[in-house]
Amino acid sequence: MKNDLYAQRASNIRRTWALVAGFLAMAIAVGYAFSWYYQDSSILYFAVIAAIATNFYAFWASDKLVLSLNHARPATREEFFDFYTVTENLCITAGLPMPKLYVIDDPAPNAFATGRDEKHAVVCATTGLLALMTRAELEGVIGHELSHVKNRDILLMTVAVVLAGFVAILANLFLRLSFWGAGRRDDRNDNALLMILAVVGIILAPLAAKLIELAVSRRREYLADASSALLTRYPDGLASALRKIGGYAAPMRSANLATAHLFIGDPFGAKEGGGTSGWVERLFSTHPPIDDRIKALMGAR
């Protein structure tokens, strides 16, 4: 297992750089298409600068964006004593620096980790999770999130939020400019081509954003579950916590597609049918079925 964790950490770093490089290439390609069509090279320069700036922001400040999108606030030790002490104890065991702790005022039980590295990590939990979990269950959940920190999942998952949003913005801008038509070429064939590309772009934008989220493989959830079991030495705690999270039907008030893949459970609530979802739903899901995760945990005992 330890070798798998080191390999996964190195893989996450490589995937992050590949994701950033792919995004930069895509932005330059779109900028080139714009500059060619509108005969204005400044558009290409703007696209390159915007892509570099977005990558920089995604690396250094995307955790702040994620916390803002989910309306998180700092957690004080006095108000959330168990949250603090459980995290401190597990950080000592895992050899990790203490992350910043945040809470979301929401009755739905859930949690996520974000940040660019171990020294700048954030663990965030909902007030619903902190109220609903026993200490053993809370240890399982926090162990899962600290495992994401240790395995360097958080950088890739957090960068994906910003890049997915930028893809959608590019597609929307492309469509609006094609409708406005200001300064474009007069050739009808060119106009038709732009309209086709615009429609294709706007259709593929949500899919592209989803694929970026799915670049964070569902396998990482299984790995973080297993890592939490090793850290706490009590897989039953996380298994019990997952049952409670998976059984909560109501969605989070701040649930959104951009950050859904960060959470330990689906922030949109339990799906009808539990773990019996079809293969298409599983293919496009950001989380493995809860039942499958619990079976994997129980089989690892």
Catalytic residues: 145
Q: Which of 110, 106, 111, 89 is nearest to 98 (CA)?
A: 89
Q: What angle do CA 73, 76, 81 make, to 5 degrees?
A: 125
**What is the rounded distance in angstroms from the CA atom of residue 4 to the CA atom of residue 76?**
35
CA dist., res. 48 & res. 208, Å (int)? 19
Look at residues 9, 265, 222, 199 and name the one whose alpha carbon lies nearest to residue 118.
9
Cα–Cα distance between 266 and 268 in angstroms, integer? Answer: 5
What is the enclosing helix (H) or strand (E) of 80? none
SS3 287: coil
